Amino acid sequence: MENKTKLETETIIISLGGSLIVPDEIDIHFLKDFKNLILKQVEQGKKFIIICGGGGVNRKYNQAARVLISPSEEDLDWVGIAALRLNAELIRVIFSEQAYSRVICDLSENLMLEKSIIVGGADRPGRSSDWDAVIAAKNCGAKKIINLSNIDYVYDLDPNLNPNAKKFDKISWAEYRNIIPKEWTSRLSSPFDPVASKLAQEENIEVVIMNGRLLKNLENYLNGEDFLGTVIF
């Protein structure tokens, strides 16, 4: 029997950065506008798998743990997973009846779901939400991932430290992987993590990096119009 995740309608994977959900406090206005945009796209027949990050909640709890003890990286990961799942539950709830009734933490499981929106969490330490997004895409046959964070483009250098940093509108996986760290570590700051990048390249999955706060820009991309961001292919 054909896997029902190979949906007739377009399935779009969104990695929703926790910095957008909870930059410091929960961003109610962003979440309201994001919800309206996604539901508008659902009305056009699209389906979404939304994987959430930990954001400010994760940072606060990680900082508290470090003040109180010297936690292991695995323990910090478990704290981060709990923060991520809390954000994911919030996203699931705000989409109400349009979303599947539970957060899917293991995105390699069979996603034979009929709802228009699936919200993803995380199930174990040592992985990033980027990895989960690639696993979800691989599982349902999607070939594009939208990575929404607080950066506009991929650069060859940190633009906050180097005014001559070069931005990329398009970049191949081989080129991209040459300008990021070779290995992934917890809390690594990278537009798309090295391990997830390797798998995305192997699976021929395209990743679009864009600033999630510019929701009109996201709408342009979803509508096949010109947009600002970096396509990694």
Q: Residue 188: its pLDDT value, please?
A: 72
> Would you say residue 43 lies in a domain?
yes
Phi, psi of 150 (to 5 degrees): -110, 20
Domain span at residue 16 reads 11-232
- Amino acid found at 34: F
> Would you say residue 162 lies in a domain?
yes
**pLDDT tens by residue, 162-188:** 989 999 999 999 999 999 988 767 667
Token representation of residue 64: 């508290």
3-state percent breakdown (helix, strand, coil) of the chain, nearest 5: 40, 15, 40
> Would you say residue 6 lies in a domain?
no
> Would you say residue 45 lies in a domain?
yes
Domain count, the chain: 1
> Would you say residue 5 lies in a domain?
no
**Helix residue ranges, H only, the chain:** 18-21, 28-43, 55-68, 73-94, 129-140, 173-179, 194-202, 215-222
Q: Which conformational region is residue 208 in: left (phi greater than 0), alpha (psi within -120 to 50 degrees), or beta?
A: beta
Helix axes 28-43, 215-222, angle to 10 degrees: 10
Find the CATH number of the domain harbouring 121: 3.40.1160.10
> Would you say residue 184 lies in a domain?
yes
> Would you say residue 87 lies in a domain?
yes
Lowest-confidence segment of 162-176, 187-201, 215-229 by average pLDDT: 187-201
Return d(Cα 133, Cα 172) in angstroms, integer: 19
Burial class (CB in 10 A: 0-12, 13-18, 19+), 233: middle
Q: Residue 127: its pLDDT value, please?
A: 85
> Would you say residue 2 lies in a domain?
no
Average pLDDT over residues 194-218: 97
**pLDDT tens by residue, 12-70:** 999 999 999 999 899 999 999 999 999 999 999 999 999 999 988 888 999 999 999 99
Average pLDDT over residues 1-16: 66
**pLDDT tens by residue, 86-138:** 999 999 999 999 999 999 999 998 876 689 999 999 989 988 899 999 999 99
Note the pTM of the prediction, 2 decimals.
0.91
